[in-house]
Chain A
Amino acid sequence: MKLEGFPQNLTLKDGTQVVVKPLEAKDAPALLEFYRALPEEDRLYLRDDVTKPEWLERFVAHVQHNEVVSLIALHGNKVAGEASLYRALHGWTAHVGEIRISVAPALRRSGLGSVLARDLVKLAIGLGVEKMIVQMVESQLSARRLFEKLGFRQEAVLRAHVKDIHGIKRDLVIASNDVSHLWEAMEALVSDFSPTVG
């Protein structure tokens, strides 16, 4: 799948220049390096062991099969951040997409996370996704703030669902953004029905 509007050249709030683009197979080694350098604390909340080459291989395959849409931000030849949209292409949640996002600690709080997330939400809508979810730990305040600004609202809390790096159990927050009304408007537009015109 070819995603349009990329690469994007960006200057972050702190002046850092990055390029945002869809992940390609050739970026895989840089992505692995990025994940390996993430603090363990952040990696713990990810569902896969992203430091393993096997994970990366599967991830790239998912991207190639359109099950995952992945955007990366490159700073020079290093990955500075990654955002992915996971889609179930079949079954009863085929209209739902899950977003995950990470930014390199040194570059946080400069707006990169917001840009990546916003681009991904736009892409998701373009792909026909009707509802997006994101899973966060209660303590991931910047993630919660970031997604709230993009229209996500807390939908469920799973109590003591995750254990952090110190073994302390924490609540998992699931926030969602239902964009189906956009498509309802399109549906109305193509209904070809007018009560006043016979």
Chain B
Amino acid sequence: MDKSEIRVGGLGGQGVILCGMIIGKAASIYDGKHATLIQSFGPEARGSACSAQVSVADEPIGYPYVKNPDVLIVMSPDAYTQFAPQLRPGGVLLYENELIAVDDKLPAGVKAFGIPATRLAEELGRRLVLNIVMTGFFAGVTGLVSFEAAENAVKSSVPRGTEDLNLRAFRKGYEYGRELLAKAS
């Protein structure tokens, strides 16, 4: 069975869970696949580690836990240190490159793609949409969810009135990802 495992890691307040939720929603509701989501929160609201585990597959998923993700999305140095060693060899690392410095301890063959998501979010008008920039980046680089599905999932997941900015954040991340890919190949 073709199954992709994704882990999203960062700090409380960065929107890690929402990022995982949107990916799962895009895959399951809008792309017609199966998806599971497991969320782990830190002990406090702000600044503590939290992560989401998302599995996407064409068939129903029996085991929802993600041990060695195919794709790791990280938004904080701690999440990078904690989760990067678990990446499947040959997997994909997507990281916030103004917050995280990638070292040489990555598993063999991992392809790393960085994006200044916090700065891009600030330039769009709100730091708060950093997770949506990352979500777009994920869709752009990996293609694991379609552009339309992810866009619909963003639109239906964010509060009313904030759709415009969130969609712009999504597209920004997506385009940034597509451009990096084009350069890399």
| Chain A residues with a Cβ under 8 A of chain B | 4, 122-123, 125-129, 179, 182-183, 185-187, 189-194, 197-198
Report the Cα distance A175→B12, complex, angstroms.
36
Q: Smallest CB-CB separation from A198: which chain B residue?
A: B41
Q: A189-B18, A192-B50, A193-B44 are in contact. List 15 more A-B contacts (CB 8 A).
A: A125-B161, A126-B125, A126-B164, A126-B168, A127-B125, A179-B161, A183-B126, A183-B128, A186-B126, A186-B166, A187-B128, A191-B46, A192-B41, A192-B45, A193-B12
Task: Name the 7 nearest CB pairs between A and B, nearest first.
Answer: A128-B125, A190-B15, A126-B164, A185-B159, A193-B45, A182-B161, A128-B126
Q: Which residue of B lies closest to A5 (CB)?
A: B164
| A128 contacts B159, C-beta separation under 8 Å | no
| Inter-chain contacts of A127 with B (CB < 8 A) | 125, 165
15 A–B contact pairs at CB < 8 A? Answer: A4-B164, A122-B164, A125-B162, A183-B126, A183-B162, A185-B159, A186-B129, A186-B162, A189-B18, A189-B157, A189-B159, A190-B18, A190-B128, A191-B45, A197-B39
Most chain A CB within 10 A, of B11, B17, B129, is at B17
B residues near A (Cβ < 8 Å) are 10-18, 39-46, 50, 124-126, 128-129, 131, 157-162, 164-166, 168
Contact B17 A192 (CB under 8 A): yes
Are B50 and A125 within 8 A (Cβ)?
no
Docked pose: A125 CA to B129 CA in angstroms: 13
Give A189 to B131 CA distance when docked, in angstroms. 11
Main secondary structure of the interface of A (DSSP, over half): loop
Q: Are A182 and B160 in contact (CB under 8 A)?
A: yes
Tell me if B168 and A4 are in contact (CB < 8 A). Answer: yes
Q: Report which residue of A4, A126, A129, A194 has the largest number of chain B beta carbons within 10 angstroms of its beta carbon.
A: A126
Question: How far does the alpha carbon of A39 sit from the alpha carbon of B161 in the complex, in Å?
Answer: 36
Q: State the Cβ distance, B165 to closest chain A Cβ, in Å.
A: 5
Give B124's nearest chain A residue, CB to CB. Answer: A128
Nearest Cβ distance between residue A104 and chain B, in whole angstroms?
Answer: 28
The answer to whether A126 and B165 have CB atoms under 8 Å apart is: yes
Query: Which residues on A sit within 8 Å (CB–CB) of B159?
Result: 182, 185-186, 189
Partner of B164, one of A125, A186, A187, A194: A125
* Minimum CB–CB distance for B130 against chain A, Å: 8
With both beta carbons as reference points, the residue of chain A lying nearest to B16 in the complex is identified as A192
- Measured CA separation A22–B38 after assembly (Å): 44
B59 CB to nearest A CB, Å: 27
Bound complex: CA A35 to CA B41 (Å): 56
